[in-house]
A and B are shown apart, each in its own frame.
Chain A
Amino acid sequence: MTEQPSRKPATLIIGAGISGIQAALDLADAGYQVHLVEKEPSVGGRMSQLDKTFPTLDCSACILTPKMVDVGRHPNIELLTYSEVEAVTPTPGGYRVSIREKSRYVDMEKCTGCGLCAANCRMKGRIVGQHDAGMGKRSAIYVPFPQAVPLKYTVDPQACLFLTRGVCGKTFLCVDACPAGAIDWEMKDQMIEREVQAVIIATGFDPVDAHLKPELGYGSYPEVITGLEFERLVSSSGPTMGKVMIGDKVPQDIVFIHCVGSRDRTIGHPWCSRVCCMYTAKQAHLVHEKIPNARVTVLYMDIRAFGKGFEEFYDRVREEGAVYRRGNPAEVLRRNGRVVVRAEDTLLGEFIEVEADMVVLAVGLQPRPDTQRMAGMFGLGLSADGFFQERHHKIFPVETDLPTVFLAGCAQGPKDIPDAVAQAKAAASSALIVMRQAELEAQSLVQIRG
């Protein structure tokens, strides 16, 4: 008589952006256990910050949110948000993983996500949040965005008056406001351990810091913003409710600058970031949609519209009136109250100065700062660009040098959403092989014993 193995084989997935979410759903739907670890308070990752997606103009939230909800309630997925993997120890059948569940100072069981705490916080509207790429202000107790999964509040320990200074007025306004009694100042970080047979690293990317190109004026001129900041501006859930504004003005002349922090050896980023050509084309389209008479100039070096439907979309955006001029701009200057972009139009062979109300820098993608630490923890290699190294560029694209550790999404290198999802499904498939083998092995052991 055969027995079912006492425990289902499990996969650890690090990072719950679109790649981690997709891999988790595939593995869980196949009947295996997933421990999905996300360092932010909510799943969703970078995709949750985007407005529309190229080239189809699907609303990012509309296609992402259902998947976020699914990972949140899937019986085979243990969601560990606001948590970080601190150590991994190889075991005969896989890894023992130590995970720090950071204290939210909010009891997840009690919190209903009503938001009264945030509405009453003394720091309301004063804390710069990451989700809005530094453009919006929130409270010290927060959910990163309204569709957050789990929809549970978190106290920001860097911003909370009580946690930073030991005192917050005569009474805790958040505690007084919370009808569920969910706020718990005594809450501590919890260390938990999980046994897994496979690991998928899906830690994503960071946008390049535009300060690295000081000649472009980011940080000096409020008119100069990054592509990610533009996403938040144009998003109806963003800080301006979807109005494209600089201060209190609607810009009329908008300049997009390609390849900021990509294809640039001077800052050690020789790679093409793959998404900036198309996200800029999409943003140029959105400008025309939101500001009918806007004049859009896109300054580019080369256009890479290589994916399905990309070239057609690029055609569409130009026909809508976006002027593409070939030239990598030298500088952004201030003149007579406006910003001026200096470039050479290399097709004319002439120097041009384009005055603008808004300049959007198409910042590239770079590895997350903790990539090195993560790689060291597993004993994995990084490629020359600092992203995780796949086992073979062509025939083992999601594998690593470790037989049960796989890569998904931008952790391995810049990619767009379709590619990230495809790779996540490939990584899930690789992990499934490990899961099934572990299961078969357990069964055969039972048979031998039986």
Chain B
Amino acid sequence: MEATELRTFAIDNHLFRCIQCGKCAASCPMGFKTILNPRKLVYQALVAGEFDPKAHQELWDCTTCFTCSIRCPKEVDPGNMVIQLRSLLVQDGRIPGTLTTALKSIFERGNPLVMPARDRGAWVGDLDVKHLDDGADVFYFVCCTTSYDMRAQKVAQALVKLFNVAGVDFGILGEAERCCGSEVRRLGEQGEDSLFESLVEEWGEEMADYSYQRMVTTSPHCYDVFKHHYPMNGREVLHYTQYLAQLIQDGKLQFTNKIERRVTYHDPCYLGKQNGVYDEPRAVLKALPGLKLVEMDRSREKSLCCEGGGGRVWVEDPNPEKKLAAWRIDEALGVGAEVIATACPFCMQMLEDAVRTAGAQDKIKVLDVAELAAEAL
């Protein structure tokens, strides 16, 4: 960016508000192991005269947990600045290889995993699930990872079991479901003529034609993007933990099986920090008989990111430093947890990898809140 362009960028992103206090940099979970430093980036954009995003490969280290933006006392939003800078790289075609594959796959197949669209509903098997074609109270939005990943599919299957027991009238789109575009946005494919923009237009319109009252999502990432960035025409968007907590409160879900395990809960950033949903997942866990919920030191507003957001779940990271998810597993073991529960397919993937890397499969299991709830039925 040349001087004039840079100044416009700084004004548009409210960078002049910054007082260089360092709250963002100190809050950045990646800052401790990479050179990513939102405070410095803001300062350079303000004083350097010109700014070349190509010289800042650390932009790809951002997990888009947005802790920097949430805590910034001057409301600068450095997290969004990072995304804006990524956009400049993306427009230039400068994007890490595996991410290009993911983006291309979303464009061509509606999912980032290079999987055929027709297999998207295969996880259903012989479960009792209807298509949204006939309309339903709840549109269950499954998510790409949950649809295709063998491990994550179990979460969808658990949710279906819970919905059916609670007598929920729900439907899915099966092979017609497409990627929500949350990570597309966070990779920088946003704004005019971007892949995200076209997803919102085409996909948003397509979804609007179905008859349903509320959307319930598996992933906090889908939840976040639908809730804040799609025209939902007045329809409510809920993360499934919010919906389950509601069903429990209304007495529609009762649990009889004892879960005699020590469980800790890992807050997904897109659910907790970014949307303030801290209590509902815990309410579900607390409703399960026998389950002992123990909190890690870093929980709720202080929760440590798993490192999977912002497209990082698809990146082969050459950084030899310990993964954030591995720190998380250490912490869960530290409070004597036998299960680390979470409510996000990315978190689950990152945490399971970390358990395998640590060889801790005998000590701790990664389970989704929905799986624990279904087990307690």
Residues of A near any B CB (own CB < 8 A): 214-215, 217, 259, 263-266, 301-302, 326-331, 333-335, 342-346, 349, 351
Contacts and interface: CB of A to CB of B under 8 A. Distances in A.
Nearest to B69: A266
Contacts, number: 69
A302 B70 contact: no
A261 to B, nearest CB: 10
A215 B298 CA distance: 9
Nearest to A267: B73
B40 interface: yes
Interface centre among A265, A334, A346 (most CB of B within 10 A): A346
A265 B300 contact: no
Contacts of B22: 326-328, 343-346
Contacts of B301: 214-215
B332 interface: no
Given A266-B70, A349-B40, A327 B27 contact: no
A266 B72 contact: yes
A342 B31 CA distance: 12
B248 interface: no
B21 interface: yes
B99 to A, nearest CB: 27
Contacts of A264: 73
Contacts of B71: 215, 266, 330
Contacts of A265: 73-75
B297 A344 contact: no
Contacts of B67: 330
A344 B75 CA distance: 18
Nearest to A332: B302
Given A263-B73, A327-B21, A331-B26, 15 more contacts: A214-B301, A214-B302, A215-B27, A215-B301, A215-B302, A263-B19, A327-B22, A328-B22, A330-B27, A333-B297, A343-B26, A344-B22, A344-B37, A351-B25, A351-B26
A349 B44 CA distance: 13
Interface centre among B26, B70, B71, B298 (most CB of A within 10 A): B26
The 8 closest A-B pairs by CB, nearest first: A330-B26, A328-B21, A344-B22, A330-B27, A346-B22, A344-B25, A344-B26, A264-B73
B73 A349 contact: no
Interface string B6-28: 00000000000001111101110
B20 A346 contact: yes
Contact of A301 (B21, B25, B297): B21
Interface centre among B71, B72, B73 (most CB of A within 10 A): B73
Contacts of A328: 21-23, 26, 73
Contact of B300 (A214, A329, A330, A346): A214
Given A330-B71, A334-B297, A349-B37, A344 B302 contact: no
Nearest to B28: A330
A30 B153 CA distance: 83
B255 interface: no
A334 B72 CA distance: 23
A266 B297 contact: no
A327 B26 contact: yes
Given A328-B21, A328-B23, A349-B40, A344 B31 contact: yes
Interface string B156-184: 00000000000000000000000000000
B146 to A, nearest CB: 30
B350 to A, nearest CB: 20
A351 B19 contact: no
B310 to A, nearest CB: 19
